[in-house]
C-alpha cells in the first residue's frame, strides 16, 4: 500500500498520517485532562500530550508529530471577538481605576527582566545577548527578532521564550485551582456568556469583527494584532448594540486545542539535554516573575478594584492569547487581564531595546 502524498497547508508540506495522528494525540490528551478535571483541558491536555510525544521522539509513518503553526491565524481572532463581547458601558466606567496597576508595570517589567537575565547568566551560563532577550517577560516574536539582530543563540532563545508561555499555561491555572479547592474555568464549564442568539445576523457581525479587527490591527501595527484588533472591533460592536452575542463554547474549546497543538509540536527536534536545561531555567525565571506578580497583586488589588487573582494574571509573564484564554476559562476580568498584557508587551520591548545598550557597555 502506497503512503499518501504530503499535503500542502499554509505554506508547508505535512505528512497526512502524522498530521492526523498529532491531532488525535492532542485531542486524546485534552479529553483525559477534561476527565481528570484540569483547568483549560483542551489547551492543557493538548500541550502536555503532544509535547511529551515530541520529547519522546514518537514517529508516525516515519515522521515526528506535526501541525501547522499558522493555524493559530484562523482561530485566535475568535478569542478576540469573545473578549470584545465582555465590553459593557459599566465596564468602560471601571477602566480609569486600572491606571495604578498599568503604571506599576513600569516597575514590574525591569525587575522581572533583570531577575531572569541574572538567572540565565549565572545558572545557565548563557551569553549576554541570549540571556537578555530570553529574559524578556513579554513579546515572544519581538524578543526573537531583537535577539537575532544582536547575535543571540536562536535555538536557545526560541526554546526559553516558548517555554515561558508553556510554563505559565501549566502553572497559573493549576495553582488557582489548588487554591480554590474546586474545579475552575473550562473544567467546570465556564465561558464568556452572550445575551443574543447565534442567528445569521449575529454570526455575520461576529465574523466581520474578526476579519476587520485582524486586518485593521495588523495594518496600524497593534501589538498582538491577531487578538487585540478583534477585541477592539468586537468591543465597539457590542457597545453600540450591533450584536449582543459571543462565539459559542465549542469554538473557544477548539481554539484552545489548536493553540495547544501549535505549542506542543515546538518540542520536536530538540535534544533532551536542551529541554532539561530550558525547563530548569524557565521554571526559575517564571517562578520568580510569578512571585513578583503575586506581591503586586496583594498590593494593588484593593486599589484597582480587582481580585488578587486578576492582578496576578495581568502581570503573569505568559502570552496575550494564552493568558486571555486562562482569564476566559477562570472567569477572571478578561478585559483587565488582556489590557495589561498588551501594555506588558509594549513596555517589555521598549525596556529591552533601551537597556540593552547600557548592558553591552557594562
Q: Which pLDDT band holds residue 111 (cuts at 50, 70, 90)?
A: very high
Query: What is the number of other CB atoms lying within 10 angstroms of the CB of residue 313?
Result: 30
Residue 194's pLDDT is what? 55
Rounded distance, CA 172 to CA 328, Å? 13
**pLDDT tens sequence across 56-104:** 888 888 888 999 988 988 998 998 898 888 787 777 777 888 999 999 9
Rounded distance, CA 301 to CA 305, Å? 6
Q: Which pLDDT band holds residue 189 (cuts at 50, 70, 90)?
A: very low
DSSP string, 282-350: HHHHHHHHHHHHHHHHHHHHHHHTS-HHHHHHHHSSS-HHHHHHHHHHHT--HHHHHHHHHHHHHHHHH
Rounded distance, CA 340 to CA 324, Å? 10
Query: What is the number of other CB atoms lying within 10 angstroms of the CB of residue 202?
Result: 17
Pairing of strands 59-60, 63-64: antiparallel
Angle, vertex CA 79, rays to CA 77 and CA 82, nearest 5: 110
Residue 293's pLDDT is what? 95
Q: Which pLDDT band holds residue 188 (cuts at 50, 70, 90)?
A: very low
Is the torsion defined by CA of 124, 51, 48, 160 positive or negative? positive
Check pLDDT > 80 for residue 362: no
Rounded distance, CA 53 to CA 48, Å? 8
Query: What is the number of other CB atoms lying within 10 angstroms of the CB of residue 130?
Result: 22
Question: Percent of the chain scored above 90 by pLDDT?
Answer: 36
**pLDDT tens sequence across 243-293:** 888 888 889 889 989 988 988 888 888 888 888 999 999 999 999 999 999
Residue 126's pLDDT is what? 92
Inter-CA distances, 30 with 44, 174, 281, 338, Å? 7, 15, 27, 25
Residue 26's pLDDT is what? 95
Residue 165's pLDDT is what? 87
Residue 87's pLDDT is what? 80
User: Whose grid coordinates read 506581591?
Assistant: 295
Amino acid at each position: 500500500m502506497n503512503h499518501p502524498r504530503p499535503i500542502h497547508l499554509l505554506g508547508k508540506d505535512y505528512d497526512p498520517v502524522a498530521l492526523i495522528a498529532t491531532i488525535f494525540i492532542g485531542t486524546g490528551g485534552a479529553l483525559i485532562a477534561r476527565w481528570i478535571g484540569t483547568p483549560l483541558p483542551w489547551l492543557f491536555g493538548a500541550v502536555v500530550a503532544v509535547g511529551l510525544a515530541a520529547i519522546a521522539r514518537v514517529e508516525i509513518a516515519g515522521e515526528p508529530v506535526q501541525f501547522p503553526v499558522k493555524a493559530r491565524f484562523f482561530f485566535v481572532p475568535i478569542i478576540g471577538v469573545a473578549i470584545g463581547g465582555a465590553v459593557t458601558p459599566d465596564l468602560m466606567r471601571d477602566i480609569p481605576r486600572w491606571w495604578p496597576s498599568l503604571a506599576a508595570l513600569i516597575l514590574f517589567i525591569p525587575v522581572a527582566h533583570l531577575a531572569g537575565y541574572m538567572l540565565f547568566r549565572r545558572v545557565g551560563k548563557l551569553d549576554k545577548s541570549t540571556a537578555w532577550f530570553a529574559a524578556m517577560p513579554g513579546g515572544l516574536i519581538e524578543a526573537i527578532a531583537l535577539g537575532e539582530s544582536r547575535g543571540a543563540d536562536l535555538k536557545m532563545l526560541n526554546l526559553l521564550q516558548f517555554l515561558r508561555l508553556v510554563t505559565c499555561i501549566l502553572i497559573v491555572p493549576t495553582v488557582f485551582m489548588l487554591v480554590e479547592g474546586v474545579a475552575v474555568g473550562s473544567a467546570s464549564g465556564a465561558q464568556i456568556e452572550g445575551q443574543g442568539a447565534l442567528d445569521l445576523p449575529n454570526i455575520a457581525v461576529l465574523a466581520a469583527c474578526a476579519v476587520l479587527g485582524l486586518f485593521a490591527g495588523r495594518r496600524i501595527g497593534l501589538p498582538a494584532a491577531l487578538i487585540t484588533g478583534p477585541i477592539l472591533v468586537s468591543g465597539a460592536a457590542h457597545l453600540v448594540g450591533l450584536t449582543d452575542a459571543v462565539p459559542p463554547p465549542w469554538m473557544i474549546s477548539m481554539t484552545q486545542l489548536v493553540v495547544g497543538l501549535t505549542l506542543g509540536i515546538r518540542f520536536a527536534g530538540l535534544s533532551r539535554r536542551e529541554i532539561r536545561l530550558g525547563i530548569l531555567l524557565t521554571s526559575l525565571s517564571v517562578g520568580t516573575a510569578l512571585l513578583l506578580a503575586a506581591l503586586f497583586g496583594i498590593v494593588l488589588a484593593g486599589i484597582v478594584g480587582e481580585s488578587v487573582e486578576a492582578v496576578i494574571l495581568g502581570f503573569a509573564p505568559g502570552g496575550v492569547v494564552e493568558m486571555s484564554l486562562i482569564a476566559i476559562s477562570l472567569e477572571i476580568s478578561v478585559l483587565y487581564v488582556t489590557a495589561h498584557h498588551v501594555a506588558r508587551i509594549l513596555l517589555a520591548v521598549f525596556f529591552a531595546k533601551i537597556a540593552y545598550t547600557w548592558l553591552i557597555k557594562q
